C-alpha cells in the first residue's frame, strides 16, 4: 500500500534560527519592511525569522538552536514558508489560492476549454485544484515530516459582476461572492472570497445585496457570481445557447468516472509530486539563507497494515452457541434473531397507509414482505419466519391523495388499539420539499408522539421491490420494533464497557456569511461492548454550547441506571469510550476526570475518540487491479485497498479503509477515502492531576472495536463506513433538528415507549 504522503528528508537534527520577543506591532513592522525577502511567524512568545532571499547585511533577532522534531511547531512553520516562497520562485505563473492548506489551480487540463467559444476560454474553466498539506507522522515508530497531496475539480469563473452587467446578463436573484485582495498580497495570493448573499438590484456601478445583516451596497467590480453549476449554466446559456451550455455540462458529467478513477488519481498525484519536488530528475533543495534546508521524496510512502483487523463473529443466542463468522444474514436465516426467546412482540400489528390508486401493488408488496419470495436467495422466509414471529398483522388504510391531512386522518382513524409500527407509502417528490413544509417530517413527528416507529416506502419501491430491498427493510423493521438481530463477542479486558455515541447536525438558515446557525447535538446512544443498544437516556435537542453539561447529566444518571440494571459490583473496572464528532477541550477533560473521581465505587477509565471522513489522507494499493461486479465486463475499484486496510499514523491516530474494491457498487463512486480514528488527549501545558491513569490509550483495541461496530447499523446487512454509535447518534440529531419546528412536536415523547427501540433507522 501507499499513502498520498511524500516524506521530507533532512540531513541534520538541529538547526539555528533567529528570533525576537513577540510584539504585535513589531511583527507588523517586520513584515512591512522585509516581507519580500523574509518570512516572519509567531510561536509562543517569540517571533521567528526565516531569511529566504535577503542580503547578509540585514540582521534581525538573535540566533537560537532548535530541534527538528523536539520543536516540531517551529520546524513546521519554517517548512511551510520555505515551500511557499520556493514555489513562487519556480512557478511565477501560478497565483496560489491559499497559503495553508497550500492550494493552486493547475494551468493545464481544463476539460471544457475546447468546447468553449474563444472569447470565454481562460475566463471560464473546470480545472484541477491541487492541495498540499504538511503533516508530522510517526509510522512504525519513525518520525517523519511530509506533504500530503490531494486533487479535486473546481469551476473557474473570472468575469466580475461589473463585466456581466455590462454584457446585459441579468444578475438579480443570484448568489454572489465578495472578492477582496488582502494588503500586501497582490499577485501573491488570490483574493479572499466571501459568500455574502443574494443580489437584489444594480444601481450604476454598485449592487444591493441581501445579506444576513440586511441590505448592503458593494461595488460591482468586487463581486462575482457564486461558482455553482446553476449560476454558471445560466450564464453559459445567456452567452452561448442552451444547446452549448448542455454540451459543456455533459462533458463534465461524462468524464466524472475518469476524473475520480483511483488509478488515474494516483497517477496525477505522483506526477504533481514529481513536478513540485524534482527538477530534471533531481530533488529540489528547499532552503533559506540560514542553512535550513530539506528535500522531498517524489515517490509516495509505501507501507503495510499496522494491525490485522478481523471481521467480528456474529452471535444469535444468549449462550453464544449459535454463531456465524462471516455473514449476519446467513446467521439470521439459520438461527433467527439473538433475542428470539425474550422478544415480547411476537405478533406485531402494523398500520399501513397507501394511496388508494396503489392498493394492489401495496398489498402485493406487504405480502412479499411478510412471507418472502420463494425463489429468492436472501429472502425466502420473509419477515415472519426469518425473525421468528408468530404472525404479522397488517391494518391497511387508504388515502385519497398525498396531503398531510389525508395521512393524519388515516392515523386518527385507527380505533383498534395502538399499532406497534407504521409502514407508509410516500411519493419520491417528498424528498424535494422544504423541511418545514414537508409531510415526511410532520407525519413522522405525529407517529413518534404516539410512540409508534415509522417506516417510509416510496411509491417506486412499492411497485418495483426485490429481495435485496425487502431483506434490508425487514431488518430495519425488526430493529424498530425493539428487536436485537445479532450481537458481537464481548471484550474481556475490562469488567464493564459502555460505548457512547455523540452525534450532531448543522441547522442554518442559509450559507451566506454571518448566517445564524445552530449545531444540534445528539447525546443519544449507549452501547455495551458487544454492541447491544442499552439506552438513549433522555433524548432532546441540545445546542452546541450546552452539550457537555447535558452529557455529564446524562452520564451520571445512565451509569447509575446501568450499574443497577446489570448488577455492577463495587470495584468493577468500567471503560467509557466516547465516539464524538469534535476534538475535546482541556476543560472538558477536567470535568470528566472530576466525574470519574466522584463515582469512586468503580474503577473508571475513559477515552474520547473522534471518527472522521473529512481529512486529507488517502490509501492506494497499486496491486489491486479491480473486481468484476454484477456480471459487468469492466473492473471497478482498481488501486483501492481492501476493506480493513489500516495505518497507524502515530500513537493516537489511525486510518482505516472501510470501502474496498469489493464494497463499491459502480465506477461513479470513485476513490474511497479511509476514515480517521483519533484518540484525543489534553493539549499544551496541561496539569493532568492524575489524568493519565484515567485515559485509555490502546489505539489497537479502539480501532478493532470501531471496525466491529460498523457491522451493527441494522439498516443493512452490509458493513458501513462509520460505526453504529456515530450512525445512530447522527441520525437522531438530524431528525431532531428537522422536526424541531413542527407545531406540537416535543422530543420528550421519545423518552418512554421508544427508549430502547431504533426508531431513527
Assign residue 403 the CATH number of its domain: 3.40.50.2300
pLDDT bracket for residue 492 (50, 70, 90) = low
- Which of 469, 563, 546 is CA-nearest to residue 502? 546
Q: Is there a contact between 102 and 84 (Cβ–Cβ < 8 Å)?
A: yes
- Which of 94, 26, 15, 92 is CA-nearest to residue 50? 15
Q: How high is the pLDDT of residue 353?
A: 94
β-bridge pairing 653-656 and 675-680: antiparallel
Assign residue 718 the CATH number of its domain: 3.30.420.10
- How far is C-alpha 261 from the geometric centre of its chain's CA atoms? 20
CA distance 460 to 66: 66
304 or 553: which carries more pLDDT confidence?
Answer: 304
Q: How high is the pLDDT of residue 318?
A: 87
pLDDT bracket for residue 366 (50, 70, 90) = very high
Q: How high is the pLDDT of residue 540?
A: 55
- Same domain assignment for residues 275 and 329: no
Q: How high is the pLDDT of residue 534?
A: 61
Does the pLDDT value for residue 515 go beyond 50?
no
| Structural domain includes residue 666 | no
| Structural domain includes residue 633 | no
**Mean pLDDT of all residues in the chain?**
86
- Same domain assignment for residues 237 and 380: no
| Structural domain includes residue 301 | no
CA distance 519 to 542: 8
| Structural domain includes residue 71 | yes
Q: What is the dihedral of CA 553, 555, 556, 561, to 10 degrees?
A: 120
Burial of 544 (0-12, 13-18, 19+ CB in 10 A): middle
- Same domain assignment for residues 329 and 465: yes
CA distance 200 to 212: 13
What is the per-residue pLDDT across 73-113, written as a single tens digit (0 to 9) for each? 999 999 999 999 999 999 999 988 888 899 999 877 789 99
pLDDT bracket for residue 689 (50, 70, 90) = low
| Structural domain includes residue 316 | no
498 or 484: which carries more pLDDT confidence?
Answer: 484
* Peptide bond just before 101 cis, omega within 30 deg: yes
- Same domain assignment for residues 26 and 152: yes
Q: How high is the pLDDT of residue 134?
A: 97
Beta-carbon-side half-sphere exposure of residue 747 (alpha carbons within 13 Å): 22
- Same domain assignment for residues 435 and 560: no
| Structural domain includes residue 182 | yes
- Same domain assignment for residues 476 and 541: no
Q: Report the pLDDT averaged over residues 383-399.
A: 94
- Same domain assignment for residues 271 and 327: no
Q: Report the pLDDT averaged over residues 486-498.
A: 76
Neighbours of 491 (CB within 10 A): 14
Q: How high is the pLDDT of residue 419?
A: 93
Range with lowest mean pLDDT among 347-356, 426-435, 489-498: 489-498
Boundary (domain end) residue, out of 449, 480, 511: 480
- Same domain assignment for residues 509 and 474: no
β-bridge pairing 142-157 and 62-67: unpaired
| Structural domain includes residue 314 | no
- Same domain assignment for residues 282 and 326: no
- Which of 449, 397, 389 is CA-nearest to residue 424? 397
Q: CB within 8 A of 663, min separation 6: which ones?
A: 643, 672, 718, 719
| Structural domain includes residue 128 | yes
What is the per-residue pLDDT across 195-240, written as a single tens digit (0 to 9) for each? 888 899 999 999 999 887 888 899 999 999 999 889 999 999 999 9
Burial of 606 (0-12, 13-18, 19+ CB in 10 A): buried
Q: Report the pLDDT averaged over residues 482-489.
A: 89
258 or 275: which carries more pLDDT confidence?
Answer: 275
Helices (H) and strands (E) in the chain, counts: 18, 36
β-bridge partners, 2 = 302, 620
What cell does 354 get? Answer: 397507501
- Same domain assignment for residues 441 and 553: no
Q: How high is the pLDDT of residue 583?
A: 73
Domain that holds residue 694: 496-611+679-751
What is the per-residue pLDDT across 44-73, written as a single tens digit (0 to 9) for each? 999 999 998 887 777 788 888 999 999 999
3-state secondary structure of 445: helix
Number of domains in the chain: 3
CA distance 745 to 446: 8
Boundary (domain end) residue, out of 451, 480, 509: 480
- Same domain assignment for residues 133 and 195: yes
Boundary (domain end) residue, out of 422, 454, 480: 480
**Positions of E strands within 91-247:** 102-105, 124-139, 142-157, 175-180, 192-203, 206-211, 214-219, 223-225
- Same domain assignment for residues 52 and 85: yes
pLDDT bracket for residue 541 (50, 70, 90) = low
What is the per-residue pLDDT across 493-510, written as a single tens digit (0 to 9) for each? 667 888 887 766 655 454
Predicted model pTM: 0.88
CA angle 342, 347, 350 (to 5 degrees): 125
Amino acid at each position: 500500500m501507499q499513502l498520498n504522503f511524500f516524506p521530507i528528508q533532512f540531513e541534520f537534527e538541529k538547526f539555528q534560527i533567529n528570533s525576537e520577543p513577540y510584539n504585535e506591532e513589531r511583527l507588523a513592522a517586520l513584515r512591512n519592511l522585509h516581507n519580500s525577502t523574509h518570512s516572519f511567524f509567531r510561536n509562543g512568545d517569540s517571533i521567528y525569522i526565516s531569511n529566504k532571499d535577503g542580503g547578509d547585511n540585514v540582521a534581525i533577532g538573535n540566533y537560537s538552536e532548535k530541534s527538528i522534531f523536539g520543536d516540531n511547531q517551529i520546524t513546521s512553520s519554517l517548512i511551510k514558508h520555505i515551500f511557499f516562497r520556493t514555489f513562487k520562485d519556480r512557478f511565477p505563473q501560478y497565483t496560489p489560492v491559499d497559503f495553508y492548506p497550500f492550494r493552486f489551480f493547475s494551468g493545464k487540463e481544463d476539460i471544457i476549454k475546447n468546447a468553449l467559444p474563444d472569447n470565454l476560454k481562460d475566463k471560464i474553466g473546470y480545472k484541477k485544484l491541487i492541495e498540499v498539506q504538511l503533516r508530522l507522522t510517526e509510522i512504525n515508530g519513525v518520525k517523519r515530516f511530509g506533504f500530503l497531496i490531494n486533487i479535486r475539480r473546481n469551476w473557474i469563473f473570472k468575469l466580475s459582476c461589473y463585466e456581466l452587467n455590462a454584457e446585459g446578463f441579468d444578475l438579480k436573484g443570484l448568489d454572489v461572492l465578495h472578492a477582496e485582495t488582502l494588503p500586501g498580497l497582490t499577485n501573491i495570493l488570490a483574493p479572499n472570497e466571501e459568500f455574502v448573499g443574494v443580489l437584489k438590484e444594480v444601481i450604476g456601478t454598485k449592487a444591493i445585496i441581501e445579506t444576513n445583516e440586511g441590505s448592503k451596497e458593494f461595488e460591482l467590480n468586487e463581486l462575482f457570481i457564486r461558482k455553482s453549476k446553476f449560476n454558471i449554466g445560466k450564464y453559459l446559456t445567456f452567452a452561448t445557447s442552451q444547446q452549448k451550455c448542455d454540451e459543456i455540462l455533459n462533458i463534465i458529467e461524462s468524464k466524472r468516472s475518469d476524473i475520480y478513477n483511483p488509478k488515474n488519481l494516483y497517477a496525477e498525484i505522483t506526477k504533481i509530486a514529481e513536478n513540485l519536488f524534482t527538477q530534471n530528475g533531481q530533488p529540489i533543495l528547499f532552503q533559506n539563507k540560514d542553512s535550513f534546508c530539506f528535500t522531498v521524496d517524489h515517490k509516495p510512502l509505501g507501507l503495510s497494515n499496522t494491525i490485522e483487523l478481523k471481521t467480528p463473529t456474529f452471535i444469535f443466542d444468549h449462550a453464544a452457541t449459535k454463531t456465524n463468522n462471516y455473514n449476519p444474514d446467513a446467521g439470521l436465516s439459520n438461527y433467527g434473531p439473538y433475542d428470539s426467546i425474550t422478544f415480547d412482540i411476537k405478533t406485531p400489528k402494523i398500520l399501513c397507509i397507501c394511496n388508494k390508486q396503489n392498493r394492489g401493488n401495496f398489498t402485493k408488496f406487504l405480502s412479499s414482505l411478510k412471507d418472502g419470495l420463494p425463489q429468492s436467495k436472501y429472502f425466502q422466509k420473509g419477515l415472519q419466519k426469518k425473525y421468528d414471529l408468530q404472525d404479522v398483522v397488517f391494518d391497511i388504510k387508504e388515502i385519497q391523495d398525498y396531503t398531510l391531512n389525508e395521512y393524519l386522518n388515516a392515523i386518527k382513524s385507527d380505533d383498534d388499539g395502538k399499532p406497534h409500527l407504521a409502514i407508509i407509502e410516500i411519493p419520491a417528490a417528498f424528498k424535494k420539499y422544504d423541511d418545514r413544509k414537508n409531510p415526511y417530517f410532520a407525519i413522522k413527528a405525529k407517529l413518534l408522539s404516539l410512540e409508534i416507529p415509522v417506516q417510509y416506502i416510496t411509491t417506486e419501491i412499492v411497485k418495483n421491490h426485490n429481495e435485496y430491498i425487502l431483506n434490508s427493510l425487514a431488518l430495519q423493521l425488526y430493529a424498530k420494533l425493539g428487536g436485537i438481530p445479532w450481537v458481537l463477542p464481548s471484550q474481556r479486558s475490562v469488567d464493564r464497557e459502555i460505548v457512547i455515541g455523540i452525534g450532531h447536525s448543522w441547522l442554518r438558515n442559509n450559507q451566506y456569511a454571518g448566517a445564524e446557525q445552530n449545531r444540534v447535538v445528539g447525546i443519544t446512544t449507549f452501547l455495551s461492548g458487544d454492541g447491544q443498544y442499552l439506552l438513549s437516556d433522555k433524548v432532546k435537542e441540545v445546542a452546541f454550547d450546552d452539550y457537555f453539561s447535558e452529557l455529564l447529566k446524562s452520564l451520571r444518571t445512565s451509569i447509575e441506571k446501568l450499574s443497577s440494571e446489570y448488577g455492577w459490583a463495587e470495584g468493577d473496572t468500567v471503560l467509557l469510550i466516547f465516539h464524538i464528532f469534535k476534538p475535546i477541550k482541556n476543560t472538558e477533560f477536567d470535568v470528566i476526570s472530576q466525574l470519574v473521581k466522584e463515582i469512586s465505587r468503580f474503577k473508571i477509565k475513559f477515552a474520547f475518540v473522534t471518527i472522521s471522513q473529512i481529512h486529507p489522507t488517502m490509501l492506494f494499493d497499486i496491486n489491486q487491479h479491480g473486481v468484476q461486479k454484477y456480471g459487468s465486463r469492466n473492473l471497478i475499484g482498481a488501486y483501492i485497498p481492501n476493506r480493513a486496510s489500516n495505518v497507524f499514523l502515530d500513537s493516537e491516530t489511525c486510518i482505516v479503509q472501510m470501502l474496498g474494491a469489493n464494497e463499491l457498487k459502480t465506477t461513479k463512486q470513485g476513490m474511497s477515502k479511509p476514515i480517521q480514528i483519533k484518540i484525543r488527549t489534553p493539549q499544551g501545558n496541561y496539569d493532568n492531576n492524575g489524568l493519565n491513569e484515567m485515559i485509555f490509550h490502546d489505539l489497537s483495541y479502539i480501532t478493532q472495536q470501531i471496525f466491529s461496530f460498523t457491522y451493527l447499523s441494522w439498516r443493512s446487512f452490509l458493513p458501513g463506513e462509520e460505526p453504529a454509535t456515530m450512525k445512530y447518534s447522527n441520525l437522531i440529531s438530524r431528525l431532531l433538528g428537522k422536526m424541531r419546528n413542527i407545531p406540537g412536536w416535543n422530543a420528550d415523547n421519545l423518552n418512554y415507549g421508544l427508549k430502547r427501540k431504533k426508531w431513527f433507522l
